[in-house]
Structure 1
Amino acid sequence: MRGTDETSGSLFSYVDLEDRIPAKHPLRKIRQVVNDALFSLDPEFDRLYSVDGRPSIAPERLIRASLIQILFSVRSERQLMEQMEYNLLFRWFVGLGIDDPVWVPTVFTKNRDRLLTTEMSRKFMTAILAHSEVKPLLSDEHFSVDGTLIKAWASMKSFQPKADAAPPDRADGPDDPPPPPSPSSSTAAPEPSHTEIEPMPRKTSRNRNAEADFRGQKRSNATHASVTDPQARLYKKSPGAGAILCFMGHTLMENRNGLIVQAEVTQADGHAERKAALEMVNRHSPGSTRRLTLGADKGYDSADFISDLRQMCVTPHVARKSRHSAIDGRTTRHSGYAVSQKRRKKIEEPFGWAKTVGSMAQTMLRGTERLGAQFTMTMAACNLARLPKLLAT
C-alpha cells in the first residue's frame, strides 16, 4: 500500500536528543572524554570569569562547539551557527536542547577568543591526556618531534618594504599614478578664481588590487614585511619549493600510539624547529631524571641541539646527515635508534589531518598567539578523533 505524503502538523513534539544519537556513534566516547576533561578544568574556568555581571556563554559549550567545528571541517563560525540550528548531532554534542536558541556568530566568536588562548588550549590538551582511559595509551619515555609550515592569511602583494629600508630599485609600472606636479612648476595649472567641488574618486578593481610584477626584485625578511600580518615570514623548507608567507607549527608526539602531547607555533626561520623542540620537551617533562629518547629528521642534526638534548638527559635519535653529522655510533648502534626512526614518521599523519580536516593548510587568523591557540586545539581534536578506535582495542 502506498503511503501518503502529508504533513503531520502536530502542535507538540517530544524529542529526546539522547535517543536520537546511535549508541555506537564515535562522538559518544569523544564527548565522554571531553566532559571529564572539562570537569577537571572547572577551577580554571572559575578564575577566568567574574562573579558579577551578565552570564556569558558557558566555557564548556564554547570548547565543545570549537571541537565540532574542527572535527566536521566547518569553514566559519557563521556556518557553524547555521548548522547548529538544524543539526541534532551538533546540538547534542555541544549541550544545547532542542528549543535552546543558537548564539549570534559574532557573540560566539568574541566569547571564544577571550577563552581559548594558547595557555588554555594547552591545559585542555593536558586534561585530555591525563584522562584515566587515555593515559595508559601514552609512552612516557619515547617521543618524536617535527614541524610544518602553515600558510599565513596574507598575499605576496602585502609583502612591502619596511619603513626604515631603502626603496626597491624598479621603474614605475604602467598602472602607477603620475607624481603630483610641483607648485613652483611652470606647467602647474593656475589657481581657480572660484570654488570648485571635485568629484569623489571612483574605486575600481585596478586601484584595489593592481597588477604587480616581482621579477628581478630582492625580497627578504630583513627588508620587507607583510602589512596584513607583520608576524608572518617569507620561508621555505625544501630547496625546490617556492617561499611563502607562513608560520611554523611544531608538535611533540609520543611513539606508542602516535598521540600529540605538545604543540607550538612560532615564526618561520631556520632555527625555530630546534628551539621549539627544546621548549616542548622541557614543558612536557620538566626536570625529568628518566632517560628519554627523541626521534627527529635530518633538520635537527645540529651539534648545539644534540648537546642540549644530552644535557637534558634525552637521547637524540636524530636522522644522520650524509656529511658533518653530530650523531655517531654511540647512538646508532642501539636497536632503539632504528625503532625511533621508524616511529617518528607517524608524526606526519597529524599534520596531514590538521591540514585537510582541521583547515590548517592556511589559517584565517593573524599572529602567533591566536594561531597557536587554534593549532593546539586542532591537535587536541586530532587526538580525540583517534580515541574511539584506540580505546575499542
Structure 2
Amino acid sequence: MFSKNRDRLLEGDIAAKFLSAVLAQPKVKRLLSTDHFSVDGTLIEAWASMKSVKPKDGSGEPPAEGGRAKRGSGLPWPQTLERHTCLDHRSGCPALSQGQRQGGQAVLYGTWLDGNRHGLLVDACLTLADGHAEPVAALHMVEPRADRPQAITLGADKAYDAEDFVNELRSMKVTPHVAQNTSGRSSAIDGRTTRHSGYAVSQRIRKRIEEAFGWIKVVAGQHKTRFRGRDRIGWAFTFTAAAYNLVRLPKLMAETG
C-alpha cells in the first residue's frame, strides 16, 4: 500500500515538473505573461459511479440526488477561502471523494490558470466539484505569482463574482478582472475595477481558455478520465495541460519569430 501511494505521489510530482520544465525553456518564457492571467474550470467525469459513493456514517446509503452547490444559489460559502473541508460522503474508489452527480457518475472539477499574452496554460489544479473548491484552487494558483511589487490581474467569468473571492484577491494585491454578475444581486466588482480599459481587455482575452478546454476534453480525452483515484486523475489533468502547450508552441514560435 505504501509503495502504491508513493508511486501515485511521484506521478503527480512528475507531471507538475514536466509542465514547469516546458514553461522554463528560454524560447517559451518569452511567450508567457507575468502580469495578466485568466482562470476557469471544467467538469471532468470520474471513472466511478455514484453507487460507489458511501456516507461516512457507514449507513451504506448513497447521497441524495441533485447537483453540487452552485455559486449564487443562495447556499453559504465556506467561512474562509484559505481552507477547503471535505464533504459528508466518500467514494469506495481509491482516493476519490465525492463530487457532483451527473448522469449517475461522480464528477470532479479541473481548474487552469493561463497567461493572457498567448493563452498558454501555466498551472492546473483538480478539486471536488462542490461549488466551493474552484475559487480556492484559483487563489492557490495565483498566490505565488502575486509575490512581486507590481500588481497583477486575474480574469474570470461571472461565476467567480463573490465578495469573499474578490476580497482575497485584493488582499494579495491581485486586481480582480472578474465579470460582473448582476442577476438579482449586486456585484462585488465596482467602478474601481471596471473604469480601467484593462478590465475590458481581460474580459475579452480570458475567453481563450475555452480553446484549451475543447482540446483537452475532446482531443486528449479528458471529458471522462480513464484513471481511478484523485492522484492519478490529477496527474493526467496536469500532464494534458503540458501537452496542450506543446501542441501550440511550434505555431506560436513561428509567428513570434
Taking structure 2 as the reference length, the TM-score comes to: 0.80
Please state whether the residue corresponding to 1:250 is helix, strand or coil.
strand
Inter-CA distance 335–243: structure 2 relative to 1 (3 Å threshold): farther
Counterpart CA distance in 1 for 2:46 and 2:192 is 41
Name the aligned partner's letter for residue 218 of structure 1.
Answer: A
Q: Comparing both chains, which one has the higher relative contact order based on Cα–Cα distances under 8 Å and sequence gaps of 6 or more?
A: 2
- Equivalent residues of 1:165, 1:223 under 8 A apart: no
Quote how far apart the aligned CAs of 1:155 are: 1.9
Report the equivalent of 1:268.
Answer: 129
Name the aligned partner's letter for residue 143 of structure 2.
Answer: N
Counterpart CA distance in 1 for 2:50 and 2:213 is 24
Counterpart CA distance in 1 for 2:209 and 2:232 is 23
Report the equivalent of 1:142.
Answer: 36
Please state whether the residue corresponding to 2:143 is helix, strand or coil.
helix
Please state whether the residue corresponding to 2:30 is helix, strand or coil.
helix
Rg larger for: 1
Inter-CA distance 279–224: structure 2 relative to 1 (3 Å threshold): closer
Candidates 179, 199, 204, aligned match of 1:319:
179
More strand by share: 2
% identical equivalent positions: 52
Counterpart CA distance in 2 for 1:286 and 1:320 is 22
Candidates 11, 15, 18, aligned match of 1:117:
11
Report the equivalent of 1:351.
Answer: 213
- Equivalent residues of 1:153, 1:229 under 8 A apart: no
Report the equivalent of 1:164.
Answer: 57
Please state whether the residue corresponding to 1:256 is helix, strand or coil.
coil
Show the 5 A alignment for 1:354-393.
Answer: 354-393=216-255
Candidates 158, 175, 181, aligned match of 1:298:
158
Please state whether the residue corresponding to 2:47 is helix, strand or coil.
coil
Quote how far apart the aligned CAs of 1:163 are: 5.8
Counterpart CA distance in 1 for 2:94 and 2:103 is 19
Candidates 141, 144, 152, aligned match of 1:280:
141
Inter-CA distance 116–360: structure 2 relative to 1 (3 Å threshold): farther
Report the equivalent of 1:228.
Answer: 93
Counterpart CA distance in 1 for 2:193 and 2:45 is 36
Please state whether the residue corresponding to 1:354 is helix, strand or coil.
helix
Please state whether the residue corresponding to 2:26 is helix, strand or coil.
coil
Output one character per residue of 1:152-199: Cα deviation in whole Å (capped at 9) or x when no partner.
Answer: 00123333x43625565xxxxxxxxxxxxxxxxxxxxxxxxxxxxxxx
Quote how far apart the aligned CAs of 1:233 are: 2.2
| 1:338 correspondence with 2:200 | yes
Counterpart CA distance in 1 for 2:51 and 2:178 is 38
| 1:257 correspondence with 2:118 | yes
- Equivalent residues of 1:150, 1:361 under 8 A apart: yes
Inter-CA distance 363–232: structure 2 relative to 1 (3 Å threshold): farther
- Specify every segment of 5 or more residues in structure 2 that has no aligned partner in the other structure, as ranges: 69-86
Show the 5 A alignment for 1:62-211.
Answer: 117-159=11-53, 161-162=54-55, 164=57, 166=59
Please state whether the residue corresponding to 1:133 is helix, strand or coil.
helix
Name the aligned partner's letter for residue 314 of structure 1.
Answer: V
Counterpart CA distance in 2 for 1:117 and 1:275 is 23
Counterpart CA distance in 1 for 2:60 and 2:10 is 40
Name the aligned partner's letter for residue 138 of structure 1.
Answer: L
Report the equivalent of 1:171.
Answer: none
Counterpart CA distance in 1 for 2:103 and 2:36 is 34
Counterpart CA distance in 2 for 1:310 and 1:124 is 31
Name the aligned partner's letter for residue 311 of structure 1.
Answer: S
Quote how far apart the aligned CAs of 1:243 are: 7.2
- Equivalent residues of 2:98, 2:106 under 8 A apart: yes
Name the aligned partner's letter for residue 128 of structure 2.
Answer: Q
Please state whether the residue corresponding to 2:148 is helix, strand or coil.
coil
Quote how far apart the aligned CAs of 1:114 are: 6.3
Report the equivalent of 1:247.
Answer: 108
Output one character per residue of 1:291-335: Cα deviation in whole Å (capped at 9) or x when no partner.
Answer: 101000111111111111111111000001112211001100111
Inter-CA distance 167–273: structure 2 relative to 1 (3 Å threshold): closer
Counterpart CA distance in 1 for 2:195 and 2:146 is 28
- Specify every segment of 5 or more residues in structure 1 that has no aligned partner in the other structure, as ranges: 1-109, 169-213
Q: CA RMSD in A?
A: 2.5
Taking structure 1 as the reference length, the TM-score comes to: 0.54
Quote how far apart the aligned CAs of 1:218 are: 3.1
Aligned length: 229
Counterpart CA distance in 1 for 2:98 and 2:56 is 17
